[in-house]
Amino acid sequence: MGTADPLVYASVAFWEYGCCGELPVPGARVSGTLSAVPARPTERFVVTAPFAFVADFELLRFDTWSTRWDRAHGDPTTQPITVRFSWHEDSSAYPQPAVTGTVHEIYEASLDSGIGEQNTGDAPRVYRRVESVERHPADFDARFLGLVVGFTPESRAEPSATAIADHAALIEKASRTISISGPATAFGDTAPTRGDLLRIDLEHPRLRVEGNRADLSGVVSGVIEQVSRMIPHQNGLFTLLASVTAGTPASSIDADLYVRVLVDRSYFS
């Protein structure tokens, strides 16, 4: 199938279409988000079209499409880059530009050596143009990485300033969130309640602290976001979180509590 417009080439991980969504075969109309990353030395499909780097929005803007660029990767104008396509939403990820387009070409991408080199990122890649793809191939090769699709963009949507600000607020909130677990009596005489202000000594010998700021110590205070009873599953492989009635006497709760707390900003310099 031919097209008068330049194609955009983007890699699609095997699990993307192996899981769900329409198979990205020639003629298919696909929608999803785009993100750009530094290209590996062995990458064949690198971006050649001119673009503008909009640093404040962390995106690269082309004539008919846009893609996310994480500033942690450095300056996109001084290095080869490649593009990834996904249609699975991640609410915790930085807002990414969306695109809809029609697929015209697909290439199977595989490692050209043992799978042990995959983690180095430098193993040679082999690209084979195909016209169809199976969702669950019977003779799956462990060296298979996924597809590279060549498509023509038909519409795009860039994240708004509001969406980016909301994401920044979410990240800031996550940076102050900790999870505390331990016997109910360590949290007071009664079970704590979501929305309440909790003041607690993180150095209590029977408490366990996890989360982005598990390095906190001493007495802290913050707003409770979740309170659950921790019930180990009978096979011992995981723990169930069950509800607990607010105000229940702590001495009557026969399981440890899981309490998620948003620590007050005053504890962070």
pLDDT surpasses 70 at 113 = no
pLDDT value for 121: 59
The pTM score is 0.69
What pLDDT is recorded for position 4? 54
Chain segment 117-157, per-residue pLDDT in tens: 444 456 788 899 999 988 877 666 777 888 999 999 999 99
Per-residue pLDDT tens over the stretch 32-68: 999 999 998 888 999 999 999 999 889 999 999 999 9
- Domain boundaries in the chain? 8-166, 175-267
SS (H, E, C) the chain: CCCCCCCEEEEEEHHHHHHCCCCCCCCCEEEEEEEEEECCCCCCCCCCCCCEEEHHHCEEECCCCEEEECHHHCCHHHCCEEEEEECCCCCCCCCCCEEEEEEEEEEEEEECCCHHHHHHCCCCEEEEEECCCCCCCCCCCCCEEEEEEEEEEEEEECCCHHHHHHHHHHHHHHCCEEEEEECHHHHCCECCCCCCEEEEECCCCCCEEEECCCCCCCEEEEEEEEEEEEEECCCCCCEEEECCCCCCEHHHCCCCEEEEEEECHHHCC
